[in-house]
Amino acid sequence: MNKILIIILFAIFPIVYAKGSYQDCSLYNIYSNVTTVDFDPDPPLFGLPLKFNYFVSGLKPTTTSTSIFFAFFSENANVPFDAHIMQVKSNLTELNLTDLYVHTPLITSDYAIMVALIDDSVGYVNCIMFPRFLG
């Protein structure tokens, strides 16, 4: 293969993080447990909503407001460029959310996704990051 063809192939097929790869949120100084989250399609496709399934057990019930937070971060950015927050039931020991649709950003599909459960009295209950940078 000549050099130009190799360059073109790399341009067409950027390196994507493996499906399912995740990390904790310590990069953002959030030190909480990670939990089971999956989404489809993974990696995300530009313009298509993501369908999330979210399950957590062993929660300490609280009567304060609880929300689930989906945020999209550029590489090395401290604040998300897009985010969605949804209130969920509080005072539960277990949360099972299925088929939760979240709109993806309309400016790029080069991002990391943060999914966090936040309770007004506790702060971050848990948090997980999915780096899906296009390399």
What residues line the site for ligand NAG (CB under 6 A)? 32-33, 55, 58, 61, 63, 91, 96, 98
> How far apart are the C-alpha atoms of 25 and 30, rounded to whole Å?
5
- Least separation in angstroms between CB 23 and ligand NAG: 16
Nearer to ligand NAG, 32 or 66 (CB): 32
Residue 1 CA from chain centroid, whole number: 38
Nearer to ligand NAG, 21 or 65 (CB): 65
Nearer to ligand NAG, 47 or 123 (CB): 123
- Least separation in angstroms between CB 82 and ligand NAG: 26
- Least separation in angstroms between CB 55 and ligand NAG: 5
Nearer to ligand NAG, 41 or 61 (CB): 61
DSSP letter string, the chain: --HHHHHHHHHHS---PPTT--B-SGGGT---B--EEEEESSS--TTPPEEEEEEEESPPP-SS-EEEEEEEE-TT-SS-SEEEEEEE--S-SEEEEEEEEEPPPSS-S-EEEEEEEEETTTEEEEEEEEEE---
- Least separation in angstroms between CB 25 and ligand NAG: 11
